[in-house]
Amino acid sequence: MIQTERELKVLKIREQMQRNQLEACIVSTPVNTYYLHQCIFQGYTYIPLEGEVFSFVRRPSDFNLKALQLQDGHCHFIRKPEQIIEVIQAAGLTLPASLGLEGEEMPQSQWARFEKMFATSQIKNISHLLRQARSVKTEYELEQIRQSARLHEAVYRNIPSFYRPGMSEKDFCIEIEYQMRKGGCLGLFRCYGIDMESFMGSVVAGDNAAASSPYDFALGGAGHPSNPIGATQDTALREGQSILVDMCGNFSGYLDDLSRCYSLGKLPEIAYRAHQVALDIQAYVQENLRPGVICEDLYNGALKMAQEAGMAEYFMGCRQQAKFVGHGVGLVINELPVL
């Protein structure tokens, strides 16, 4: 029997539930709602370990329930989450002995509300389990990411033509963002981590690329005090500067992440040597990235290559170095695994 995209994803979530002795879970965040349904609504999806999935919609009030393609009686409009209990009990289901909630994203007040609703259930945080389920992509998801990367790369291919003499770092960044949006990018940058913020990515030139960031990104840039990352300079880009473009491509809800280096004229010789070492490290990771490989081993191997090339002080940052060499992509940047 051919399984639907949602059935494949529910199966992956249930595998995580079974390993962690959960009888049911409730999904409500936009990312995980889109993961299951390829659309976003405000509400909840109740996934028992066995049996049919239920969805409960609060907003929008005119949402097309048929779009969820659930069995009759398994999709309902509700005003409050307490109605979830009424529906599943009316369907003849018993309340689960153990229930998973998205604890990393759910406000404490809502967690307490569900604890009161499911008073006889042991409540567990499943945010990490859902990230693990999302880490292994379906064929549909892989194609969404590939297509996003193709459209993203088509814009990057023309980046040199976007430059005009007298442009500042900020001007150049805005032009790239504009061309990305014209090319179909939705603009939304979803990133895992409550303290992680960015717009569409970063364009940094010269010394600004060495500025440290409060976020867990390898790339810095002074940015603005309210968003201290990325482009900041209002002065014109000048001959002899390197320019690093690191943007998120979101052309379908599934994200890709591409970085490219450019220069205005000739750079110091050390810049070309460092760039070649980076390419060699990338080739090493690609060659050794196989199922069963320990992520830490890939990072340590990459670090060793940087050390042997005399580039360790510039590896994954200058003044502040990130302790990873790569990360997953998908519905958010920084999906598992982190290398």
Other Cβ atoms closer than 10 A to 66: 8
Is 141-338 in the same CATH topology as 5-135?
no
3.40.350.10, 1.10.150.120, 2.60.40.2550, 3.30.1370.60: CATH of 5-135: 3.40.350.10
**For 8-23, how does the pLDDT look when each residue is reduced to its tens digit (9 = 90+)?**
999 999 999 999 999 9
Q: Give the pLDDT confidence score for residue 198 in this predicted structure.
A: 79
Q: Give the pLDDT confidence score for residue 53 in this predicted structure.
A: 95
Distance of CA 240 to the CA centre of its chain: 34
For the cut 70, the answer to whether the pLDDT of residue 1 exceeds it is: no
Residue boundaries of the structural domains of the chain:
5-135, 141-338
Q: Give the pLDDT confidence score for residue 214 in this predicted structure.
A: 78
Q: What is the DSSP string of 154-197?
A: HHHTTHHHH--TT-BHHHHHHHHHHHHHHTT------BSSTT--
Q: Is the peptide bond before 291 cis (omega within 30 degrees of 0)?
A: no
Asked if residue 233 lies in contact with residue 247, where contact means CB atoms within 8 angstroms, the answer is no
296 pLDDT band, cuts 50/70/90, is very high
Taking the C-alpha atoms of residue 50 and residue 37, their distance in angstroms, rounded to an integer, is 19
235 or 145, which is more confident: 145
Average pLDDT of span 288-310: 95
Q: Give the pLDDT confidence score for residue 222 in this predicted structure.
A: 77
Domain range 141-338, CATH architecture: Alpha-Beta Complex (3.90)
2 pLDDT band, cuts 50/70/90, is low
Asked if residue 249 lies in contact with residue 149, where contact means CB atoms within 8 angstroms, the answer is yes
| Whole-prediction pTM | 0.92
The helix or strand, by DSSP H or E, that contains position 125, with its residue range, turns out to be strand 122-125
